[in-house]
Chain A
Amino acid sequence: MTSKEAATAWHVDAELLDAYAEGKLTPSRVMAVDAHLQACAQCRAAVPSDPAWLDHSWSLVADAVQAPRPTPAERVLRSVGIPEHRVRLLAATPALRWSWVLATVAVLSFGVVAASTGQAGARITMLLFLVFAPVLPVLAVATAYGPPADPMHELTATTPMAGPSLVLWRATAVVGVSMVMGAGAAFLLPGPGYWAVAWLLPAFLLCVSTLALATALPLPAAAGVFGGLWLVVVGGVAMSGSAVQPLFFGPSAQAGYLVAAAVAVAVLTARRRRLDPGETR
């Protein structure tokens, strides 16, 4: 007699089935009944089952298996109280990829290392840092939304979530990340401490101006205008040999940045609905 015939010759009786269904059997007997049920369709059909409950259980299992695992960055955002669905949106920001983060870290650490090693070159490195650091967040803004940074832009742009608020959320996220990285690098630089934070206000001004101009131009173009303007003016003055620090990072310049940033914020607020043109032309 083969095992298959044995399986059909014996069936689970009603009493055993009840005990099985109510979970009253010992583990070894549960295994025995399980083994029989797998081979015998007749007994399987006799087991009372609740399809709704099964579906629900299955969905819980699938949730646990398929749910995308949150990255450390997502966990940090969740812990400061940002809702789960918004964290998902921010985490998919094109600029917030390891490639971008690593590139920024590489540029900043190059500056820090160069400044720390060569005494003679330290002043020049400081200068380079002050010239380039404010542009890094602008680059981040340029790649926060839309083509060419986002390969899924066509899809993203045709969903109900597309629009100004998505652009702003993403820009804020990348500016935040790049500012934190820049500030970290700044404190590692040798030299007077206040220089290290002197770039923050111009960086903020450039980012807000870029977003304000993005209500009229595509985001990368707006970033090109203000990032380019900064590099040409400040870089040009530095190349001519004039003192850049007092001119662009002194108290009066900082006050000027603050006023200009307030103006840019006002423009951005007034025109925020135009931040995403809606449809390409």
Chain B
Amino acid sequence: MTTVRIQGLGKRYGSTIALDDLDLEIGVGVTGLLGPNGAGKTTLLRCLATALAPDRGRVEAYGLDPAAAAQRTALRRRLGYLPQDPGLYPNFSAAALLDYVAVLKEMTDARRRRAEVRRVLEEVGLTDRASVKVRKLSGGMRQRLGLAQALLGEPDLLILDEPTVGLDPEQRMLFRALISRLGETRTVLLSTHQTEDVGALCERVVVMRQGRAVYDGTPRGLAEQAEGQVWLSAEAPDGNRMYWRNADGEFRTLGAQPPNGTPARPSIEDGYLMLLGPEIAAGVVAR
């Protein structure tokens, strides 16, 4: 079911184009946004989260258009947003911070609010840190607290800007379990630099580059973008190719077949790198 419609969205900062006539439809489930820094991921998420007004085009989520004041507030009632830099007040305890955000989300009844705060603390595994000040929490815990505030009020639309930054592998597992459960009934849109997150979590992935969507489909389909262009060889290939030495000591090459190269199964990362193409490839070769 389509819940979010984006049509002809454009945004520029001075001469830099952040979003370039972007069209996108997103539905219930977990959608991942991949792309290099400056591709427009954060700008897109901020437009959807009603934090930023686009220059051109239209955003509509659950039938609500944030350009109109009344609908914007209505959309905010159904929104959970984790900004890239949430700026959580360092002197607030985890519980006090969530309590404050719960008030901002119009939960006026103190008892109901505390119950909701306890619920989200439990969800992210921070129950035993409820009274610890934000500045004394580790990076991963702070990240989970940021996620907890987004979950307050059980929003239909969850927008998470790089939610897995700073999580260790165990926390990442918990995060994936939580997000995939939420994705059964809600629209979850998250940006990430981790292709493993996309493979493990997202039924759909959108690759952005220079303000446009250059791929929109399944993670498997993204891997297939590199089909027939991934090779393993015992010796380093010559010439201007993108390659690296993998953990088995073999050379993994992307692109044309190197001498004595045997075909290998492409990963999501291979597909992503092939999609981004020449610049990225040049960057890898330059190293």
Binding site for B on A (CB under 8 A): 59, 62-63, 65-68, 83-85, 88-89, 92, 150-163, 273, 278-281
Contacts and interface: CB of A to CB of B under 8 A. Distances in A.
Given A59-B115, A88-B99, A151-B89, A159 B104 contact: yes
Contacts of A92: 89, 92, 100
A158 B81 contact: yes
Contacts of B81: 155, 158
16 contacts: A65-B131, A66-B114, A151-B87, A152-B89, A154-B87, A155-B86, A156-B104, A158-B50, A158-B51, A160-B104, A160-B105, A160-B106, A161-B103, A161-B106, A278-B50, A279-B53
A63 B111 CA distance: 8
Interface stretch (B68-76, B233-241, B259-267, B276-284): B68-76
B93 interface: yes
Contact of A66 (B85, B86, B118): B118
Q: Which of B46, B49, B51, B93 has the largest number of chain A CB atoms within 10 A?
A: B51
B118 A62 contact: yes
A88 B100 contact: yes
Given A160-B76, A280-B52, A152 B87 contact: yes
Contacts of B113: 85
A88 B89 CA distance: 14
Contacts, number: 104
Contacts of B104: 89, 155-156, 159-162
Interface string B220-234: 000000000000000
Contacts of A62: 114, 118
Nearest to B105: A159
A153 B87 contact: yes
B85 A154 contact: yes
Contacts of B66: 278-279
Contacts of B108: 83, 85
Interface residues of B, number: 43
A247 to B, nearest CB: 44
B189 interface: no
Nearest to A59: B115
Contacts of A280: 51-53
Nearest to A89: B103
A84 B103 CA distance: 10
B22 interface: no
B114 to A, nearest CB: 5
A88 B114 contact: no
A267 to B, nearest CB: 19
B176 interface: no
B96 A68 contact: yes
A34 B280 CA distance: 66
Contacts of A88: 99-100, 103
A281 B108 CA distance: 31
A273 B79 CA distance: 22
B118 A59 contact: yes
Given A154-B87, A278-B66, 11 more contacts: A59-B114, A85-B110, A88-B99, A152-B88, A155-B101, A157-B51, A160-B77, A160-B104, A162-B104, A279-B66, A280-B51
Interface in B105-134: 105-108, 110-111, 113-115, 117-118, 130-131
B95 interface: yes
A199 to B, nearest CB: 32
A66 B73 contact: no
Contacts of B87: 150-155
A87 B227 CA distance: 60
A225 B66 CA distance: 30
Given A155-B81, A279-B53, A66 B130 contact: yes
Given A66-B130, A158-B51, A158-B81, A278 B69 contact: yes
B95 A279 contact: no
A155 B83 contact: yes
Nearest to A161: B104
Interface string B38-75: 00000000100111110000000000001001001100
Contact of A281 (B53, B96, B101, B118): B53
